[in-house]
Amino acid sequence: MSFSEVLQGGSLFAYAPLIIAFPLLGLLINMIFGRRLGERAVGIIASSAVGLSFVIAILQFFALSTHPEGTSVPIADWITIGQLAVPWSLKVDTLSVTMMLMVTGVSALIHVYAIGYMHEDVRFQGDPGRFTRFFVFFNLFVATMMVLVTADNFLMMFVGWEGVGLCSYLLIGFWFEKGEDGIGNAIAGKKAFITNRIGDFGFLIAMFLIFGAVGSLQFADVFHWAHEHGLENVDVITAITLFLLLGATGKSAQIPLFVWLPDAMAGPTPVSALIHAATMVTAGIYMIARNQALYDVAGLSSNLVALIGAATALFAATIAVGQFDIKRVLAYSTISQLGFMLAAVGVGAQVAGMFHLVTHAFFKALLFLSAGSVIQGIEHGHHHLEHVGANPGGGEAFDPNDMRNMGGLRSKMKITFWVYLIGALALSGIFPLAGFWSKDEILADANHESIVIFLLLTVAAFFTAFYMGRQILMVFFGQPRSEAAKHAPENPPVMTVPLILLAVGAILGGVLNLPGMHTLTDWLEHTLHVHVTEFNPVVAGLSTLLALLAIGIAWFVYGRQPMGKGSPDPLRRMLGPIFVGMENKWWVDELYQFLIVRPYIALADVLADVIDWRFWHDWFHDTVLARTFREGTRWLNDAFDLRVIDGIANGLGNLTQAISGRMRFLQTGYVRNYALSFLVGVLLVLSYFIFGSS
């Protein structure tokens, strides 16, 4: 059989399960032999496993080009009870393959980058043995993410959904003995998991509702049902889609569950780039796009999706303006961009949402990895100074992530600077970079659907360009504001080459769905209901103008007169309390602490200590019940001085004592009373039945 015949027959679909199997195999090899293999081999195995998955994704792409309707690839039976039948089964269609290509492609690049990054990081953090563990978790992430995107039913998607959450937890807390008070990273991981679990709760309830209404959890059955009977079931579909939305706000870090993502930056930078920017956090968008058939029926839910997305886009963008941690700026930016995507799928522009999802994966992964490069450069500079005996930190803990310690890196880290600039411009939506096309498509669709959404997103886009301009100027321009920044070197090719490749993606990503060609639209048409978005020159012109204006203002504030060492952010002087609000993330964390976390802790303490222990355990059981019992048995004992039974009880006591000399309590009257009363009770009952009724 020639290759083209294979293509014609669609038999390439049969290889789809390998996309999960390769990373699993990689992690097993590294888990078992990692210690003996050494860093280089571990890195190569992990990266090749993901690379092979990417190859499988490409094969699926070819298979789809001749069979664009896609297929289901069953693997095994999973849970079958009565009406409930959930198999392990993969869905290969244009939507899932888009995700497969993006996720495995970006993952492969980041795996390679991580070989270099983690080599340094494990030494900087002082535990080289953890190198292997990192790649085991990283491969596990790719495997679970593939389960998520290839799932053919809701339950299997949920396996991937929580699986990626687990990897996120493990990798955020990767340096579990670091962070604030030595426990900060671990707490950040826990916060991510628990916040996500709240979303997962929504996902679970949605599944119960779906099963109740449809009797199946297979996507095909559910969507078919929605087409056929959707209009009679608007209420239940609205409920389903709202609970799914709760799930999406957890995974994709939207209002009200976005709070975990900024803290998730505690993880090593490749983790931030891969999981918390490019791939995992887009799962919510993917899930809602996948469920288009349901959202189309539920107008209320779709409106809410769009509103939450747009509100998050703006809200998070304002916070990004007030951050000083280089990764936190990007984290809030990610939340904001995810808001754009969510708004897109909310207004029915699934293609625009997926388009932005893919381009964002490129430029945001690029930005994070470049930020990692910057951080590592600063760390090197810091290390170098310690080495030569200078006291760079001035006694205080030195934070290599703080942009106030940077400045002037443009000349020290040339490659990093250029790729960072490309990423920043792409994110700001500057023509002709990838972000321009995808963001514009979202804005054009929003403009078509709802003026509120459009305005929110446009203002958010303005802020985006501003905070990226601020970041570029603070990090790369002006004079170095710390000794470490003065000595920061560029990183080796194992890190810079993936950066360059991603930069190419950030530049060219727009060709995926250029106006007039709409390649992605045609591609996704086989899976989703799509419409071609007309290029809107007014919208595009306006947003470009706003972005340039924002960059101009950023230059006015930060570029004209660069920030000096130790001087405050000039914006603080201009905006006053507004800046304080942005810097403190509008106190949302504090609000949740006050409203949810502390009340729950207090409730748990009261339940455990006062209700369960002192009241129920000590007072009711030990005092009331025990005393009643004691009085009762004493009365029994006094009333019937049954020497025979007493004798038996004592005899039993002695026998037991013979078995265990340590059980002296059996000789106390207290216990004898128990034994006696039971014996009396049982004998009375038995004799009643035996003699009384015969």
Residues found near another protein in the complex (CB under 8 A): 76-82, 84, 127, 155, 158-159, 161-163, 166, 169, 173, 176-177, 182-183, 186-187, 190, 193-194, 197-198, 200-201, 204-205, 207-208, 211-212, 600-601, 603-605, 607-609, 612, 616-617, 620-621, 629, 659-660, 662-663, 665, 671, 674, 678, 681-682, 685, 689-690, 693-694
Instruction: State which residue, 116 or 202, has the beta carbon closest to another protein.
Output: 202
State the sign of the Cα–Cα–Cα–Cα dihedral 50, 51, 57, 60.
negative
Instruction: State which residue, 542 or 671, has the beta carbon closest to another protein.
Output: 671
CB of 430 to another protein, least distance (A): 42
CB of 648 to another protein, least distance (A): 16
CB of 622 to another protein, least distance (A): 9
What contacts 591, CB < 8 A, 6 or more positions away?
Answer: none
CB of 168 to another protein, least distance (A): 13
Residue with tokens 């969507």: 223
CB atoms within 10 A of CB 612: 12
Strand pairing partners for 80?
A: 85
CB of 459 to another protein, least distance (A): 34
CA distance 374 to 256: 32
Strand pairing partners for 88?
A: 76
CB of 155 to another protein, least distance (A): 7
DSSP result, 215-281: S--BHHHHHHHHHHHGGGGHHHHHHHHHHHHHHHHHHTT-TTSTTHHHHGGGS-HHHHHIIIIISGG
CB of 627 to another protein, least distance (A): 13
Instruction: State which residue, 184 or 515, has the beta carbon closest to another protein.
Output: 184
Q: Which CA distances in Å does 232 have to 222, 223, 228, 238?
A: 14, 14, 9, 12
Instruction: State which residue, 216 or 527, has the beta carbon closest to another protein.
Output: 216
Instruction: State which residue, 299 or 681, has the beta carbon closest to another protein.
Output: 681
Instruction: State which residue, 166 or 514, has the beta carbon closest to another protein.
Output: 166
Instruction: State which residue, 514 or 671, has the beta carbon closest to another protein.
Output: 671
Give 649-654 contacts, CB < 8 A, sequence gap 24+: 649/675, 649/676, 649/679
CA distance 458 to 182: 41
CA distance 151 to 74: 10
Instruction: State which residue, 76 or 451, has the beta carbon closest to another protein.
Output: 76
CB of 45 to another protein, least distance (A): 19
Judge whether 209 and 237 are in contact, CB under 8 Å.
Answer: no
Q: Which CA distances in Å does 277 have to 120, 172, 260, 271, 575?
A: 22, 13, 13, 9, 29
Instruction: State which residue, 156 or 285, has the beta carbon closest to another protein.
Output: 156
Closest CA relative to residue 520, chosen from 590, 451, 612, 438: 438
CB of 601 to another protein, least distance (A): 8
